[in-house]
A and B are shown apart, each in its own frame.
Chain A
Amino acid sequence: MTSSTYRSPVNDDPTLDISLVVNGRPVEASVSPRLLLSDFLRHHLGLTGTHVGCEHGVCGACTVHIDGRAARSCLTLAVQLDGATVRTVEDLEGPDGSLSPVQAAFRDCHGLQCGFCTPGFLMSVTALLDEDPDVADASDAEIRERIAGNLCRCTGYQGIVAATRQAAETLRDAKEQADGTTQG
């Protein structure tokens, strides 16, 4: 995954060169200006974990991290990403292949059924907890507000709300422990 050229094979659309970092690895590509980031990730880099549920920015299934913030890859053009850092669901697991605290919590709490919305939720919740470690203390209603950018048709959200709380607690405990260790 170092270089990829996407040139529209049939028309004279110019292509633009971009270089970016995807899941920690440098990528150079030459892409059509109209290529969506979601298609670039899925069909040119083979990162099919990012899903497309609406292509109009409502469902959140396509959520990835761009420069550390959650963003809709279906509303982003690949050419906008020159110089950016992108992270997708494939990068969530630990270096040893273990599930991240958010992934593990989704499994423990039955936060997924068909799994189609799941990568988007995982990226949204991961970004949320990176930004705001206090979610562990939030009310149920607050957690629901915070995850209301993603649609799920299967779970009724109950498992997702529980998973978000569990992951927040796990991350907070880990942080407290780390802080404790440093202080001690």
Chain B
Amino acid sequence: MARPKAEQPEQSAPPMVHTGARVRRNEDPRLLRGRGRYVDDIPLEGCVHGAFLRSTVARGRIVALDTTEAEQLPGVLAVYTCENIGGLDREMPLLIPHPCISHGRTQRPLARDDVYYVGQAIAFVVAVDRYVAEDAVSRISVDIEPLPVEVDMERAVDDGAPLVHPDVPGNIAAALVQNCGDADAAFARAEHRTKIRVQVDRSTGAPMECLATAARWDPVSGELVVWDGTQAPIGLRGALASLFELDEDKVRVIAPDVGGGFGPKIHFPYANEVLVPLAAMELGRPVKYIEDRSENFVHMSHERTQIHEIELAATKDGEVIGLRDVFLHDTGAFIPYGIAVAQVASTAIAGPYRIPNIEVEFRCVYTPTVPVTPYRGCGRPQANFALERAMDQLAEELGLDRFEIRRRNLIADDEFPYKREGLIFADGLPVTYDSGQYGAALALLEEELDLPAFRAEQEQARAEGRWLGLGLSFYVEGTGLGPYEGGRVRIHPITGKVYVNTGLTTQGQGHATSMAQLVADQLGVAVDDVIVVEGDTGVFDWGVATFASRAMVVSGSAIHKAAVKARERVLEIAANMLEVDQADIVLENGAATVRGTGTSVPLAAIATVSNPLRYAFNDAAQIATQFAPANKGDGPPLPEESRPGIQTEEYYSPPHATWAYGVHAAIVEVDPVSYDLQVKRYVIVHDCGKMINPMIVEGQIAGGVASGMGGAFYEKLEYEANGNLRNASFMEFLMPYATEVPHMEMHHLETPTPLNPIGAKGAGEAGTIPVAAVIASGIQDALAPEGIGPLWHVPLNPSVLHDAVREARSR
């Protein structure tokens, strides 16, 4: 039926109408009407509810645990402890093994004998509703004998410090040294050295929807269905199939609408993710667990605490020729996600600068606190803070301007690809920056800031006794890691709508729109006629997950490839139906049209024809049935090596990460009485390669900066010396409201990456990375007339600044 391809003149690539446009989101109308479907919204007939008993002691031994009274409470269906969960009473997987993890420890779903942090799950109650389940939890009696603890990471590595795990000497989980070039030689010939110590404190992703799991077991089909607020349904499916010894096909994990992720939801399995399915299977009823906010603070992973000692070797002109960094990384009580956070920090340490000689060393330290896994930025904010504060310090010592010292060290456009041989990134491959215009970005920022005007304003402000300053920070972000993702594109024969599937998930990043834009351009359909379904292993189960700013880069590329193939197939069939050359066909408005004529066939008809039918189940289907005139011919109705319908599936595996970058600056003012911070301008130059939907990119940047503002000045998880988390609520953990987040002026450069067919780099985490350095640098500048000491520890806050000024004045 199809003419040989060779006769066809080449079709040129379609015009990009939707790709790159600020398309309003497909997902919004549903969400705006209150018709989202988050885990707790899934209606499950006869559903019962879980609640946890959690440890109130950081490190201790469980000497008594009595659940009798809880079990006797009317309405309680089950009380689980480590004693009655069968094969689940085991250490959960260490998700990313790495040879440098000498003492990898992971936790059990429910504590056995020992507890390791406040918040650790000890028992799980299932009852008719959450009120009763929580009543029952309060009736469990538990006696925990406290053991000595050391929550201060630096003291935790000292000889004689209390051990989190008795068989882990020095509380060291892992240690790694990486080298690029010859740092020793560089330091030996350096004309100037700068060494500083910086610290970034602990924080949490705080998605507005806490963790949530619901499960239903169908004893007839033997299928376990789990709805879970996860970033990694395919991974969780693998873990559950393994733990419950079920065929993968019998476990379906669905991430429905998820109320924010920001990293912590990439980790699995959390206790609820295994105990809810267990209870559903044992009780034969749907079971649900919805974490509350106070639990979220002590259960869902944290991130950030690192202490860096960073040293730069420079010429007297400010060329940085060597870098040494030694840091401690707090991994909490366990290391379930391996060294990912520390590794990313260590490989981002030289940022956008040439710095050819690097030695970076880290140790991952156990402390009796909530385990640490990636949170938006994943080690990059800490590395960036260390590097950028060191660059500011170097500039200061050499008497150079902060812009100038950066200009002298940025990798030049013609130096890409720029490889840091010896630094192995989180994808297991050497750090290789693929493309960028770093110099142009800095120049654009300077222009937008209007520095001469600012300097005049600052002089004026200082004359009036006001504290006005400017801060800046460059950053790079390795995004779009492998191993791979897939995409499937299918044209529906009845409606002509296009269905797209991929294996990862969305927690608000707008995939249903941006992925649809890519496909809409290839197939000439409206963006809202492309329906993206993801996050459901029952629909598409090849892939990895949503993390590391990779969805558009990896899934987007796979979907694009699949759409290109679907387009080829559409053109081939349309050429037959219309009896013209493919080159004469335009795909637009959901139809194939002969160029310059009104003759066209709709996509639905093309999809119908592509699927040989026996039954005319509707009028349109007649055309594809056996006795329809067009279908007379020799040979099988479905030619050898072809498949019915228009459905394509492609995969994309990046050769290595692609590096986005940008530079932010802020003009800040500190109130001399209250020491409150006011950000008067926040200017961003950002380059994530080709932008598929700039509106969505800007939303990602803005959200990232807001998290970064939290980390710079407001958000800090405060552990008391006994391991209790003092501020486990939104009342005391100061997440920024609209009043704490500045208006952001955004400017884009678009340097495409050569590594993937759509030219895109990731954007999800970028906004967060530089903010702490920008704010610290800005406040330092503002308070310079007071002669305060260096600001090398974030988050800052009014009392820190007050103390710094008082200290300077008393000197």
Contact = CB atoms under 8 A, between A and B. Distances in A.
Given A49-B35, A115-B508, A107 B24 contact: yes
Given A11-B75, A116-B209, A122-B32, A110 B696 contact: yes
A90 B32 contact: no
A59 B208 contact: yes
Interface stretch (B94-102, B575-583, B592-600, B727-735): B727-735
B730 A114 contact: no
A83 interface: no
A156 B682 CA distance: 13
A156 B262 CA distance: 13
Contacts of A116: 36, 38, 207-209, 257, 259-260, 508
A68 to B, nearest CB: 19
B260 A114 contact: yes
Contacts of A35: 131
B738 interface: yes
B259 A115 contact: yes
A48 B34 CA distance: 7
Interface string B734-769: 010111010110000000000000000000000100
Contact of B260 (A9, A47, A99, A153): A153
Contacts of B573: none
B703 A10 contact: no
Interface string B172-211: 0000000000000000000000000000000001111110
Given A9-B128, A34-B131, A54-B293, A114 B25 contact: no
A42 interface: yes
A140 B32 contact: no
Given A107-B24, A113-B510, A148-B739, A53 B32 contact: no
Q: Which of B41, B698, B699 has the most CB of A within 10 A?
A: B699
Given A59-B208, A59-B730, A48 B41 contact: yes
Contacts of B206: 153
A42 B75 contact: no
A147 B209 CA distance: 20
Contact of A158 (B75, B294, B702): B702
A119 to B, nearest CB: 5
Nearest to A48: B41
Nearest to B259: A116
A131 interface: no
A3 interface: no
Contacts of B696: 110
Contacts of B25: 107, 110
Contacts of A53: 208-210, 259, 293
A135 interface: no
A103 interface: yes
A117 B208 contact: yes
A167 B127 CA distance: 44
B207 A114 contact: yes
Interface string B685-699: 000000000011011
B74 interface: yes
A145 interface: yes
A134 to B, nearest CB: 18
Contacts of A145: 739
A59 B41 CA distance: 19
A59 B510 CA distance: 23
Interface string B57-80: 000000000000000011100000
B40 interface: yes
Q: How large is the interface on A (under 10, 10 to 19, 20 to 34, 35 or more residues)?
A: 35 or more
A140 to B, nearest CB: 6
B767 A115 contact: no
A178 interface: no
Given A47-B34, A110-B25, A10 B74 contact: yes
A152 interface: yes
B142 to A, nearest CB: 23
Given A54-B730, A115-B259, A89 B34 contact: yes
Nearest to A118: B31
A156 B739 contact: no
A58 interface: yes
Interface in B676-721: 695-696, 698-699, 701-707
B132 to A, nearest CB: 5
Q: Please classify the interface of chain A as helix (H, G, I), strand (E, B), loop, or mixed, using the class held by over half of its residues.
A: loop
Interface string A97-123: 001000100111010111111110010
A55 B210 CA distance: 11
B265 to A, nearest CB: 11
Given A34-B131, A110-B25, A113-B510, A156 B702 contact: yes
A71 interface: no
B29 interface: yes
Nearest to A99: B32
Contacts of A144: 737-739
Given A88-B34, A161-B743, A55 B260 contact: no
B208 A11 contact: no
Interface string A49-63: 111111110110100
B34 A58 contact: no
B507 interface: yes
Contacts of B695: 110
B722 interface: no
Contacts of A51: 38, 208-209, 259
A148 B130 CA distance: 30
A40 B205 CA distance: 29
B729 A56 contact: yes
A87 B260 CA distance: 26
Contacts of A108: 24
Interface in A50-99: 50-56, 58-59, 61, 88-90, 92-93, 99
Nearest to A141: B739
A143 B738 CA distance: 9
Q: Which of B257, B739, B744 has the most CB of A within 10 A?
A: B739
Given A9-B75, A155-B702, A158-B744, A113 B131 contact: no
A99 B31 CA distance: 11
B208 A61 contact: yes
A168 interface: no
Contact of A50 (B34, B509, B705): B34
A47 to B, nearest CB: 7
Nearest to B744: A158
A112 B28 contact: yes
Given A9-B128, A115-B36, A157-B706, A110 B730 contact: no
A157 B28 CA distance: 16
Contacts of A122: 32
Contacts of A138: none
B756 to A, nearest CB: 24
A116 B699 CA distance: 15
A56 to B, nearest CB: 6
Given A154-B508, A154-B703, A155-B699, A107 B132 contact: no
A21 B490 CA distance: 46
A89 B508 CA distance: 19
Nearest to A117: B208
Contact of A90 (B34, B38, B129): B34
Contacts of B739: 144-145, 148
B345 interface: no
A180 B475 CA distance: 54
Interface in B18-60: 24-25, 27-29, 31-36, 38, 40-41, 43
Given A114-B207, A151-B737, 9 more contacts: A42-B41, A50-B34, A92-B34, A114-B259, A153-B206, A154-B699, A156-B704, A156-B705, A158-B699
15 contacts: A50-B34, A51-B209, A58-B730, A89-B34, A106-B32, A110-B696, A114-B260, A116-B209, A117-B208, A118-B31, A140-B743, A144-B737, A151-B735, A153-B205, A155-B706
Q: Which 6 A-B pairs have the closest CB atoms?
A: A49-B34, A116-B259, A10-B75, A114-B508, A156-B702, A115-B31
Interface of A: 8-11, 32, 34-35, 39, 42, 46-56, 58-59, 61, 88-90, 92-93, 99, 103, 106-108, 110, 112-119, 122, 140, 143-145, 147-161
